Structure 1
């Protein structure tokens, strides 16, 4: 029986696959990453995927880094370490919270993470951090934007 997999790798949009075993999934990930130095992690966890047994659908990150140092810039910079399998939403929650920039509720509601190279494009909150993390440095940098993106 095939397992439906949403696979995320660095600098690439997630894609849907149908695979029959872990070796098949690993081969696709190795092709995407140009090598075999990576870990398959279940989305939202630090759990390494070791088997597809009994799974019909999963979300997986294939990345050389298990964790990454993420830096968020606003009026200053804050950094923390996150699993590459976490979502932009988790990092945004940290950035607007007490350990980050401690924004008030109104500011936090407007906040988005953006890439410095694309300041007018908020990152999808459901996107996985591993998609933006550099595989060589195990790090990524974001900007905290309070711009209202709701009207285009």
Structure 2
């Protein structure tokens, strides 16, 4: 079972050590970069540590949009050793529950690059639906209805 914890001094080293497989690196920003972005924008980008039991298995970053009732999943990454264990889809469902308790939000949006079939399937398995395709950005826009 996946649980959500704050990113803190206690788990930052483990978070920085998490990585994806080489072929996936083009789809995610480095953890250090995402953590830095959350540090400089703490009221709009929220880092989330994803745990399976007592083990940190991934990180996610959600952004509060200026528009009412919308959050954006900026990035989710499950560390390479923990992939193919349903942690990605389960994490996404837990993130949606967390958002519902923390924010007045009815929609979680995400995008996945065209060609990242694994990422798209993970989103779909968690309950996200395709909203649109942006050919200029080469992204598929996905939504998850919270309320």
Q: TM-score, normalised by structure 1?
A: 0.28
Higher helix share: 2
Which is bigger in relative contact order (C-alpha 8 A, separation at least 6)? 1
Larger Rg: 1
Q: TM-score, normalised by structure 2?
A: 0.29
